[in-house]
Structure 1
Amino acid sequence: MFEMKEEYKTGIKKIDVEHEKLFEIGERAYQLLKDKYINDKFDKIVTIIGELREYTVHHFAEEEAYMESINYKRLFTQKMDHIGFIKKIDEVNFNEIDKNQDEAIMGLLTFLNDWLVNHILEKDLLIPVK
């Protein structure tokens, strides 16, 4: 389900490698959803969400530093999108996750896939390669 497709590549190696890592995190969440042999997935979900947040903070800082280095005119818009993403992750209700774990994973997957694909295609592909 989660894979870094050729059409998502910006041509900026560091950004593409980091996007690949975000897709890998999403793929691990997807594999967890499919695993019917694990009854209690809560700890694994929390770990994935924590890793996702930590890595996106790192990635966004790197991406924004690159955009700043080339005086990218859409940097502010990118920053606002990035802040919105982190805010959404920070608003995760862990009590709700524990009540219906598979539904929580599906919600996370839908959000992550939609956000990643749309953000890359609509925003990141516009970033010039220096």
Structure 2
Amino acid sequence: MGVTWSERMSVGVPLLDSDHKTLIGLINHLQRSIGDDEEYASVGSVLQALDEYAAHHFAREEKMMEACRYPLLTQHHGTHTSFADKVAAFKARYTEDRTSVRARDCLTFLNSWLIDHICTTDMNYRSWLIGHPGAEAAAQRVSLTGGTAKSAQVDWPKLRVLLVDDNLNFCEILRTILGSVGVATISAVHDLDSAKAVIGQDRLDIVVSDWHVGEESGLDLVKWVRRGPPDQAGLPVLILSGHERMTNRDLALLAGADEFMEKPISARNLLLGVARLVGKAA
């Protein structure tokens, strides 16, 4: 069973509650990736995202604590470091040998640590952070994408994204990553005909497609997009693939893709890639 967010977990700071929901969502994706056809790509992507989001969230939380002079900041930083080290260890094992880390290995630790941390340690700072005038401003200055010019220019809540992948779990991982920066309009389809129907009917800002969509190829979708009317032909397309050779990037770009990214993905790199492509098309 996955973890379900409840109001008892709320620390009373919407920004931090949102971060906690993202972390819980990623842990739940690990649960769902057990036995998945692309388990290793999913596990690697979630571990990478957890590593990045944990660092991002902890930095925001600690900046808020600094702003309100929270007296237990040093102890809190220690618990953050412990969690980050454990996730980094899982990630290092995975990088060295993809078969050495199964989703089930991570779940007990992640579930117990995060829930205990939110429901006990984090509750201690509620009265210090809630309503503090400088705390939220300090947190807002910490960006997952590093505050790059391109990412800063993207109006994430207004972005319209189409995900094309026959792996439903991986679509949800992508949805969680995009949703964490405020993207609200995300469509997901699992075959090329459905993708073409959405592209033909809806206004979109970017398409993110897997190379292998069932028995079909995402490259065929790219070629179809480029043959369309001007608005469609200029639609940015990012191709993802877990079957890597150096030639694959070249093939994807030759087919008309704007960018190619290898699975397991980095959440930060995905967002930076989307920002670059959307900014280029604007």
Q: Which TM-score band (shorter chain)?
A: 0.7 to 0.9
Counterpart of 2:31? 30
Unmatched 5+ residue regions in structure 1?
Answer: none
Match of 2:113 among 115, 118, 128: 115
Match of 1:66 among 64, 67, 88: 64
Is the contact made by 1:53 and 1:89 (CA closer than 8 Å) also made in structure 2?
yes
More helix by proportion, 1 or 2? 1
- In the comparison of the two structures, how many residue pairs are matched? 124
Match of 2:75 among 69, 73, 77: 77
Moved over 3 A (4+): none
**Per-residue deviation, residues 36-88 of structure 1 (Å, max 9, x unmatched):** 452x5112111110000000000000000111111111111110010111111
CA distance in structure 2 between the partners assigned to 1:107 and 1:121 by the alignment: 23
Match of 1:46 among 24, 44, 47: 44
More strand by proportion, 1 or 2? 2
- Percent identity over the alignment? 25
CA distance in structure 1 between the partners assigned to 2:82 and 2:4 by the alignment: 23
Is the contact made by 1:3 and 1:20 (CA closer than 8 Å) also made in structure 2?
no
Q: Which amino acid aligns with 1:80?
A: G
Unmatched 5+ residue regions in structure 2?
Answer: 132-282
Counterpart of 2:13? 12
* TM-score using structure 1 length: 0.87
Counterpart of 1:91? 89
CA distance in structure 2 between the partners assigned to 1:26 and 1:9 by the alignment: 18
What displacement does 1:6 show?
1.2
CA distance in structure 2 between the partners assigned to 1:48 and 1:84 by the alignment: 19
Counterpart of 2:22? 21
Q: Which has the higher contact order (CA 8 A, sep 6+)?
A: 1
In structure 2, relative to structure 1, the CA distance for the partners of 1:111 and 1:96 (3 Å cut) is farther
